[in-house]
Amino acid sequence: MEFADFQKHRFFMYGDKPYTAVQTEYGVRSGVLMQKVRVHPVVKVGGPPLDWSKDLSFLLPPEDWKLCIPLDDDLNPIAAKQKEKQMISITRYHDISCGHRVVGHESKCRFLHGHNYRIHFTCTAEKLDDLGRVIDFGVVKSALCMWLEDNWDHKMLLWDRDPLLSLLDEIKMPMQVSPEQPSPRHEAAQNLAGSIVEVPFNPTAENLGDYLLETIGPARLAGTGVRLIKVRIEETRKCSAVAEF
């Protein structure tokens, strides 16, 4: 590395350890321009941080500059942490009411019951758009909130392996015979059939959040340049589950 490289690259390898240049300066000694680089050891990859309160810095002599190898900031754990802090995200929530039961639950959640769910969607993007946004909140509403409204709101979510489904089918079948004049029983069968949503998992709050994060988010936000990175599902004001990347 040359003197200017220490000003351009925040991190570099010297020997087998990462360092950062904490000070670069010019000086004159006996009429000769001197270039000085003071460096400090930094975090080892996978290791604990070194104590910055202790003065571990030292002057790196010019003859050793050629032994220094610039580090890409993305490979340095300190820079990575700073980039994480710089990530900007947005969150919008949506309220729905729906029912479920948890198959195999040891207590009363094994029974059919429901919640007023509040579901929070957190999204991010590689960069802000020309207006300074991750994305318009209206897109989050139309892509994610309205999916909830159309697919889960006022529905009963049941695992597709739930034994209760076969019992419900037995109830629906005799009721679905449509006479010339549909009876209240026929209408009830239609309402029952339209109320059930079969899902490929036991519908706990944790599994619902994971499904929204892993399956629905990528599909609904495809082509927007935006990623769903976190879903928080509140079953009650006291109980919630979070799925996040």
Q: Taking 60 as the threshold, does the pLDDT of residue 175 lie above it?
A: no
Do 74 and 11 meet the contact criterion of CB atoms below 8 Å apart? no
Mean pLDDT of 107-116: 97
Question: What is the mean pLDDT of the segment spanning 61-67?
Answer: 89
What digits encode the pLDDT tens for the residues 214-240?
999 999 999 999 999 999 999 999 999
For the chain, what is the radius of gyration of the CA atoms? 30
Q: What are the tens digits of pLDDT across the range 135-166?
A: 999 999 999 999 999 999 999 999 999 999 98
Tell me which DSSP letter residue 43 carries.
P
What pTM was computed for the model? 0.63
The domains of the chain are located at 3-85, 87-244
If you classify domain 87-244 with CATH, what class do you get?
Answer: alpha beta
β-pair partners for 89: 124
Provide the percentage of residues in the chain whose pLDDT is more than 90.
Answer: 50
For 41-61, write each residue's pLDDT tens digit: 876 544 445 555 567 788 888
For the stretch 89-102, pLDDT in tens is 999 999 999 999 99
Indicate if the pLDDT at residue 30 is higher than 80: no
Q: Exposed (0-12), middle (13-18) or buried (19+): which is 26, by Cβ within 10 Å?
A: exposed
pLDDT value of residue 54: 66
pLDDT for residue 222: 96
For 35, counting Cβ atoms within 10 Å of its Cβ (0-12 exposed, 13-18 middle, 19+ buried), the class is middle
Higher pLDDT: 180 or 140? It is 140
pLDDT-derived band of residue 178, with 50, 70 and 90 as boundaries? low
Q: Which tops the pLDDT comparison, 184 or 242?
A: 242
- From the number of C-beta atoms within 10 Å of its C-beta (0-12, 13-18, 19+), residue 65 rates as middle
